[in-house]
């Protein structure tokens, strides 16, 4: 096996071991020693593949957390883009709900472990920072920056997801579409004379 393949296999084994341990005992209990034992590897194997526990746990999060990948049409009007965003959320809501305990655990862990919380925040910052360039192609004149709009979209999606854990019957496709339609209407400057 080539070195890159072996490294990828070891990383995958470590992520799987950490994921299983987190599933059973939670983020806080997932020590590097326990993860290495679970994978049948040494702690050195962890440090050969990950800078630290935070990087390994972020890899587990990336592996387990469903990601919305809307088929955005960046040059389309914002209403169309946000409708596509809403449809991606609707399509993925069941898989997100299936990981609700995991999502809640990593969010709680982010509040109690500074390094993990900082790493999570840095990931969101990257997404928010890139939004300006993406939304700059939109033909509509936005009343807020693309970055601010992305923060609103992320916050709205998370709020809908969290509410769906508590009252799934309330978070219908119609509610999700209506929320993103309202955002689109609220952040676009009306045409002159309208």
pLDDT tens string 74-88: 889 999 999 999 999
More confident residue, 28 or 152: 152
> Which pTM does this prediction carry?
0.82
pLDDT at residue number 1: 58
Cα torsion through 155, 161, 165, 167, rounded to 10: 90
Mean pLDDT of all residues in 99-116: 88
**Largest distance between two CA atoms of the chain:** 69
Does residue 24 carry a pLDDT above 70?
A: yes
129-153: per-residue pLDDT in tens?
988 888 888 899 999 999 999 999 9
| Angstrom distance (rounded) from CA 181 to CA 82 | 7
> Mind listing the domains of the chain with CATH numbers?
3-64 (1.10.10.60), 78-187 (1.10.357.10)
151-172: per-residue pLDDT in tens?
999 999 999 998 998 899 999 9
């Amino acid at each position: 096996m080539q070195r890159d393949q072996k490294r990828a296999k070891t990383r995958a084994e470590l992520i799987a071991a950490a994921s299983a341990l987190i599933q059973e005992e939670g983020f806080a209990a997932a020590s590097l020693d326990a993860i290495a034992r679970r994978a049948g590897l040494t702690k050195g194997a962890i440090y050969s593949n990950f800078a630290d526990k935070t990087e390994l746990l972020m890899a587990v999060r990336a592996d387990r957390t469903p990601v919305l990948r809307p088929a955005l049409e960046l040059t389309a009007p914002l209403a169309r883009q946000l409708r596509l965003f809403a449809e991606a959320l609707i399509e993925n809501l069941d898989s997100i709900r299936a990981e609700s305990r995991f999502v809640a655990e990593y969010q709680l862990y982010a509040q109690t472990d500074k390094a993990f919380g900082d790493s999570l925040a840095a990931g969101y910052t990257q997404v928010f920072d890139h939004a300006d360039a993406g939304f700059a192609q939109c033909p509509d004149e936005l009343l807020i920056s693309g970055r601010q709009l992305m923060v609103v979209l992320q916050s709205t999606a998370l709020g809908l997801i969290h509410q769906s854990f508590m009252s799934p019957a309330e978070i219908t496709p119609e509610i999700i579409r209506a929320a993103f339609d309202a955002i689109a209407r609220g952040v676009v400057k009306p045409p002159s004379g309208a």
